[in-house]
Structure 1
Amino acid sequence: MKLVFATNNNNKVKEIRSLLGDVFEIITLHEAGIDIDIPEPHDTLEENAREKSETIYKMTGQHCFSEDTGLEVFALNGAPGVISARYAGEQKSADDNITRLLQELQGKTNRSAQFRTVISLIIDGKEQQFEGICPGHILTERKGNGGFGYDPVFVPEGATRSFAEMNLSEKNQYSHRARAFAKLVQHLRSITDQEFTN
């Protein structure tokens, strides 16, 4: 099965391809010849994910999926949440976003947080959503050089290192995105199994 992944983020493409293996062919927007930055105008991850997948489905008519991910920090009432990528401004600088987050958390003892991913899948015009959550906490300083986004300051529950100190396979053991994609893969496999048995 061929699926268009509605993203321009190569790091996310690398993660999903490592999870899906060879069973499904993932086509990026660039590979599909689509050069747009899909807006994320909504107040929830669910609505933004749907906006992206519906936009690509209307453009291509192909099976597609998108995801929207937010870091939700409890001491900040769920911020940065839906604006995680542009928390420090429209330049979408991960380093600036982390700097602002650490500043906002100065003096706060509760550093609990969670990453949450929502995937919107459209097959034959019908949408389904899948959610993945990774609880953890925010460090007081950056650690590690891997990953992307807020990975240098986020330690998942049950781990002692930040996402940025882990390799991709280690990160996938905890990752919100991996958990959401696992549900997506299970659903896609059930669809393809039905196709082969019918």
Structure 2
Amino acid sequence: MTRKLGGGSLVIATHNSGKLKEISALLDPYGMKCISAGSLGLPEPPETGTTFAENALIKARSAAEASGLAALADDSGLGVDALGGRPGVYTADWAERQWFEGDPGRDWYMAMGKVEGMLQQLGSDTDRSAAFHCVLAIAWPDGEHAIYEGQCPGSLTWPPRGEMGFGYDPVFIPNGREQTFAEIDQAEKHSISHRADAFAKLVADQFGS
């Protein structure tokens, strides 16, 4: 039987105010008061895991141990079947510019192009199936934890289409749709996304009857 949160304060292991707002809105109906790790001055631990679950748990455990409260963390990314699941946990890293490339921020068009180039090298009949993955990890200060995995299967297209969304959204078409994640109404996207799938499992387990 999974340990239950039971209301109260929950540290969200993020320094991103947007992510805190999104998660808080999802958990507010269940009596959870969400506090960001950033607002508590907690450090961001190195994400040294080789899977989404490992990285999510690293972040959740670090926040729980440092704060003395239960903590929630997520890790997510894109897995492409023909590329053996890559970029996977390195989804964001593939968008990082090197110092000699100018702006050190993320270049998602470069990352999408890297994936497309690798697929084209495999041939025109290469399977373009892919899926976005999200893992949510809850950790308690005593070391107990729970993990919830969600995914949104689909396929990749080229060239990129759409102005909404972010990351690899312009090249990802979810199964059953003809539009990319960057063309779909964002409320609809969030209802079918990998994060929505993972949160549905968390809510059912933690707050279900």
Contact 1:114 1:137 in 2 (8 A): yes
Separation in 2, partners of 1:10, 1:139: 31
Separation in 2, partners of 1:181, 1:170: 15
Letter in 2 for 1:43: T
Q: For residue 68 of structure 1, what is the aligned residue in structure 2?
A: 75
Q: CA deviation at 1:94?
A: 2.5
Separation in 1, partners of 2:11, 2:73: 8
Q: 1:77 to 1:172 in 2, by over 3 A?
A: same
The alignment-based identity, stated in percent, is 38
Say if 2:183 is the partner of 1:165.
yes
TM-score (norm 1): 0.85
Q: 1:98 to 1:30 in 2, by over 3 A?
A: same
Query: Among residues 102, 116, 138, which one is paired with 1:121 in the alignment?
Result: 138
Q: 1:88 to 1:147 in 2, by over 3 A?
A: closer
Separation in 2, partners of 1:127, 1:27: 18
TM-score (norm 2): 0.81
Say if 2:194 is the partner of 1:143.
no
Q: How does 1:79-98 map to 2 (within 5 A)?
A: 79-89=86-96, 91-98=105-112
Bigger Cα displacement from structure 2, 6-15 vs 121-130: 6-15
Q: How does 1:1-198 map to 2 (within 5 A)?
A: 1-23=8-30, 24-34=32-42, 36-89=43-96, 91-106=105-120, 107-109=123-125, 110-123=127-140, 125=142, 126-190=144-208
Contact 2:15 2:39 in 1 (8 A): no
Separation in 2, partners of 1:10, 1:94: 21
Q: CA deviation at 1:171?
A: 0.9
Aligned pair count reads 190
Contact 1:53 1:64 in 2 (8 A): yes
Q: For residue 196 of structure 1, what is the aligned residue in structure 2?
A: none
Q: CA deviation at 1:84?
A: 0.7
Q: 1:142 to 1:45 in 2, by over 3 A?
A: same
Separation in 1, partners of 2:162, 2:21: 19
Separation in 1, partners of 2:51, 2:74: 12
Q: 1:92 to 1:153 in 2, by over 3 A?
A: same
Unaligned runs of 5+ residues in structure 2 are 1-7, 98-104
- Which stretches of structure 1, 4 residues or longer, exceed 4 Å deviation after superposition? none
Q: For residue 102 of structure 2, what is the aligned residue in structure 1?
A: none
